[in-house]
Structure 1
């Protein structure tokens, strides 16, 4: 499988998994949604904000614009939970068109950016993009663990389940 096909698949999976997770989170009472669950970013709300910051405001800008925004990884950039969910869905939908536009040589190159600490960094392009999608999977897993701890049902978010059921909402 070529890089564009592979990463386009991951981008579609990201859209699907994000939608399924947000549907599961939507039913939570506000107190549970914002409760400190012992996650790295404390609450489900804090973790979703981190996904918005990391995946969409930082990494997307690095890949799409060559920009290196600086903001705290635990910043609450969206306090309203409905608007946060909307922004996460919109952000997830932007990756596949971006990936489709990368020139073939880009996949073998590097991504240069400035870290949050102001240090220049150069990383392998494809491996770093893999990190973006892996990062989202990691934090969605934390949120599903929090849902379980709250006694809530969790959607199946496995990539294999997506491959078998890509049209399942």
Structure 2
């Protein structure tokens, strides 16, 4: 598969998975969402807000917004339902960014703000790969934490197989995101 097509599909899968997980988390009370749990970050609240803040940081770099690490200074952690809305907005930005990529633009270098280490040029495709990996990593942690609550964790290991098309169409449409069949 061509790299540009892959990042378009990965962005959609990322949005779909984030929404499934955050819909489940929205069924928890605020106390349950913020309760101490065993993981790298000690709660669903902290884990999923970390994921969103890193998404915003990477989106700023990819879109060459110039905010850099200052994004973390202004980030305000959110409860589950507003977090779901904010994550969807970030995911839609990521889908839009990925849809604009081509085989020629993916190896392009963008500056990344690495604080004391300065500005480090990174390839767009590498930043996207890291962003998707980061999301998968923390969704897995959140999924495991959710398993320790009264809310069953959602299915997250589906991708865009023909077999699963009927399972995802309504969910993607509700997110306002075209499915993989619509992209080239």
Q: TM-score, normalised by structure 1?
A: 0.86
1:107 to partner: Cα distance:
1.4
Cα deviation digits, residues 118-147 of structure 1 (max 9, x gap) = 522122321221110111111111001001
Matches of 1:61 and 1:74 in 2, distance apart? 14
| Secondary structure in structure 1 of the residue aligned to 2:111 | strand
Partner residue in 1 for 2:53: 53
> Is structure 2 residue 135 aligned with structure 1 residue 136?
yes
Gaps of 5+ in 2: 172-184
Matches of 1:8 and 1:31 in 2, distance apart? 36
| Secondary structure in structure 2 of the residue aligned to 1:111 | strand
Pairwise CA RMSD of aligned residues?
Answer: 2.3
Partner residue in 1 for 2:5: 5
> Is structure 2 residue 148 aligned with structure 1 residue 149?
yes
Which shows bigger deviation, 114-123 or 141-150? Answer: 114-123
Gaps of 5+ in 1: none
> Is structure 2 residue 122 aligned with structure 1 residue 119?
no
Number of residue pairs matched by the alignment: 167
| Secondary structure in structure 2 of the residue aligned to 1:105 | coil
Partner residue in 2 for 1:81: 80
Matches of 1:89 and 1:43 in 2, distance apart? 20
Partner residue in 1 for 2:69: 70
Does the C-alpha gap of structure 1 residues 103 and 66 become closer, same or farther in structure 2, counting only changes over 3 Å?
A: farther
Does the C-alpha gap of structure 1 residues 117 and 85 become closer, same or farther in structure 2, counting only changes over 3 Å?
A: farther
1:23 to partner: Cα distance:
1.2
